[in-house]
Amino acid sequence: MAKAFTVRRVELLQPRIQEIVDALLDGIAPPADFASAVAWELPVQVIGELLGVPPEERRMVRECTETLVASGGTVTAADVAEARGKLAGALNTLIAQRRAEPADDLLTALVAARDDGDRLTDNELLMLGVALLAGGHETTANLTGSFLVELLADRERWTALVARPGLIPSAVEELLRFVPLVTVADLARIAQEDLEIGGQAIRAGDAVLVQLDSANRDESVFASAGELDFGREVNHHVAFGFGVHHCVGAPLARLELRVLLTTLVRRLPDLRLAVSAKDLEWRRGGLMRGVTSLPVTW
């Protein structure tokens, strides 16, 4: 799969992502809810185009993936199963179309991807598509809103990027380290043998939960870990996981965030929150942390 989702392939998307960002900004006027107008629309349009999802089906994709990452509340197991079924049905249709008529998109590349003669099975391809649709926009949309809160709540941070746009790539990495995304520590690892980590005894069979946000604030790795430092030269954060569990969509998320912030500081240097940061409402009942709305003006 990684052969179909390389950094080089993703970087070729920059002109199209720029067009999408510009069109979204052209469509808003102050005051605006940046979350609904831009933060959610950008990633769903990008991943939709990558996978060849027709524009008329992208709202369905957004609604279904929001259900998939919900945790409790009014969302039931039946709701999750229905949402997964809708996504699977749409993807099965798209996969069949790409096999019959290959296109220049990621889904076609995934259909054709093989490793030493081993091709993705139909079920692997389907589940991978569902994961890409969900992970390809839920994470980036929530991070985008959270990043803007951090930048606009402290005016010095925003003006620093306006004055020095060249800082944006390092600012994105520092914000990835600093800003938490998930609300839970999920996907337990099971110890296969007795061991000790950080003075804590772990027995074979114990479940171990890994909290990435804690690792990203480790003072033994990051100097002044509790501070946001856009000039941090070495930033080995684990916001995208590590090793075989590293997020395959990391290059795409980084590119979207860089293009959006670069465009914002150029086009809307006076962007600011329209309400106090303490009055912002945060999403509840989900696996990911993000604002429900982000009122801004300029």
Q: Encode pLDDT of 135-160 as tens digits.
A: 778 899 999 999 999 999 999 999 99
Confidence of residue 282 (pLDDT cuts 50, 70, 90): very high
Q: Are 5 and 248 in contact (CB under 8 A)?
A: yes
Band of the pLDDT at 184, cuts 50, 70, 90?
A: confident
Which residue would you say has higher pLDDT here, 217 or 110? Answer: 217
Give 56-103 pLDDT, tens digit per residue: 998 898 888 888 877 666 889 899 899 989 988 988 998 899 889 998
pLDDT at 19: 98
Mind listing the domains of the chain with CATH numbers?
Answer: 2-182+249-297 (1.10.630.10)
The type of residue at 108 is T
- Counting residues of the chain whose pLDDT is more than 90, the rounded percentage is 56
Instruction: Assign 30 a pLDDT band (cuts: 50, 70, 90).
Output: very high
pLDDT-based confidence at residue 4 (cuts at 50, 70, 90): low
**Given a cut of 80, is residue 280 above it in pLDDT?**
yes
Q: Give helix 41-51 / helix 14-26 axis angle, nearest 10°.
A: 140
> Which pLDDT score is estimated for 136?
79
Asked whether the predicted pLDDT for residue 244 surpasses 80, the reply is yes
